[in-house]
Structure 1
Amino acid sequence: MSIKSLIIFVTVYKEESVTAAAKKLKLSQPAVSAAIKELENRYHVRLFERMGRGIQKTNEAHHLYEYASHITALYQEMDSDFKKQKRPSPLRIGSSISIGTCLMPGYIKKYMETFHAPMPYIKIDSSDIIEKMLLENNLDLALIEGSIHSDKIMAEPFTKDRLVLVCSPLHPLASKGMVTLEDLREEPFLLREKNSGTRELAESTLMVRDFVLKPVLESTSTTAIINGVMANLGISILPERMLTEPIGKGSLIPLKIKGIEFKREYSIIYHQNKYLNPDIINFIELIK
Structure 2
Amino acid sequence: MKYTLRQLEVFLATARNENITRAADELAMSQSAASGALRDLENQFSVQLFDRMGKRLQLNELGRLVRPRVASLLDEAHELEHALARHAEVGHVKVGATLTIGNYMAVPIMARFMSENEGANVSLEVANTRTIGRKVADFELDVGLIEGEIHSPELEVIPWRGDRLMVFCAPGHPLAEREALTDEDLLAATWILREGGSGTRQTFDRAMHGLLPDLNVLLELQHTEAIKRAVGTGMGVGCLSEVALRDAFDRGDLIPLPVPHRDLARSFYFILHRQKYRSAGVDQWLKLCRETTGLNGTMEAADGE
Residue in 1 that maps onto 2:284: 282
In 1, distance between residues paired with 2:99 and 2:107?
A: 12
Amino acid at match of 1:140: D
Residue in 1 that maps onto 2:103: 101
Residue in 2 that maps onto 1:73: 71
SS at match of 2:166: strand
In 1, distance between residues paired with 2:34 and 2:287?
A: 45
In 2, distance between residues paired with 1:199 and 1:19?
A: 38
Q: Is the 8 A contact 1:10 1:68 kept in 2?
A: no
Amino acid at match of 1:99: I
Amino acid at match of 1:55: R
User: How has the CA–CA distance of structure 1 residues 18 and 275 changed in structure 2, closer, same or farther, with 3 Å as cutoff?
Assistant: closer
| Higher mean C-alpha deviation, range 137-146 or range 224-233 | 137-146
User: How has the CA–CA distance of structure 1 residues 82 and 270 changed in structure 2, closer, same or farther, with 3 Å as cutoff?
Assistant: closer
Unpaired runs of at least 5, structure 1: none
Q: Is the 8 A contact 2:95 2:123 kept in 1?
A: yes
Residue in 2 that maps onto 1:49: 53
Q: Is the 8 A contact 1:69 1:136 kept in 2?
A: no
Deviation at residue 128 of structure 1 after TM alignment: 0.8
Deviation at residue 30 of structure 1 after TM alignment: 6.6
Q: Which residue, out of 122, 130, 133, partners 1:131? A: 133
Q: Which residue, out of 201, 208, 226, partners 1:224? A: 226
Amino acid at match of 2:250: G
In 2, distance between residues paired with 1:228 and 1:136?
A: 35
Unpaired runs of at least 5, structure 2: 291-305
Describe the superposition over 1:104-125 as per-residue Cα deviations: whole angstroms up to 9, x where unpaired: 1111111112222433111111
Please show how residues 159-238 of structure 1 align to structure 2 within 5 Å. Answer: 159-207=161-209, 209-212=210-213, 213-238=215-240
Describe the superposition over 1:94-145 as per-residue Cα deviations: whole angstroms up to 9, x where unpaired: 1110011111111111111222243311111111111111001111112111
User: How has the CA–CA distance of structure 1 residues 78 and 41 changed in structure 2, closer, same or farther, with 3 Å as cutoff?
Assistant: closer
Describe the superposition over 1:203-244 as per-residue Cα deviations: whole angstroms up to 9, x where unpaired: 12212x343345211111100100110100011111011111
SS at match of 1:184: helix
Amino acid at match of 2:212: F
In 2, distance between residues paired with 1:25 and 1:86?
A: 29
Q: TM-score, normalised by structure 2?
A: 0.79
Residue in 1 that maps onto 2:93: 91
Amino acid at match of 1:91: V
Matching of residue 151 in structure 1 with residue 153 in structure 2: yes
Q: Which residue, out of 266, 270, 273, partners 1:271? A: 273
**How many pairs align?**
278
Describe the superposition over 1:230-274 as per-residue Cα deviations: whole angstroms up to 9, x where unpaired: 100011111011111111122211112241120011112211112
User: How has the CA–CA distance of structure 1 residues 274 and 175 changed in structure 2, closer, same or farther, with 3 Å as cutoff?
Assistant: same
User: How has the CA–CA distance of structure 1 residues 217 and 107 changed in structure 2, closer, same or farther, with 3 Å as cutoff?
Assistant: same
Deviation at residue 56 of structure 1 after TM alignment: 6.2
In 1, distance between residues paired with 2:271 and 2:281?
A: 15
Q: Is the 8 A contact 1:181 1:211 kept in 2?
A: no
Deviation at residue 147 of structure 1 after TM alignment: 0.7
C-alpha RMSD of matched pairs (Å): 3.0
In 1, distance between residues paired with 2:35 and 2:122?
A: 35
SS at match of 1:217: strand
Q: Is the 8 A contact 2:143 2:270 kept in 1?
A: yes
In 2, distance between residues paired with 1:177 and 1:38?
A: 72
Amino acid at match of 1:230: G
| Higher mean C-alpha deviation, range 219-228 or range 105-114 | 105-114
Deviation at residue 151 of structure 1 after TM alignment: 2.4
User: How has the CA–CA distance of structure 1 residues 168 and 118 changed in structure 2, closer, same or farther, with 3 Å as cutoff?
Assistant: same
SS at match of 1:179: coil
In 2, distance between residues paired with 1:97 and 1:47?
A: 37
Amino acid at match of 1:13: A
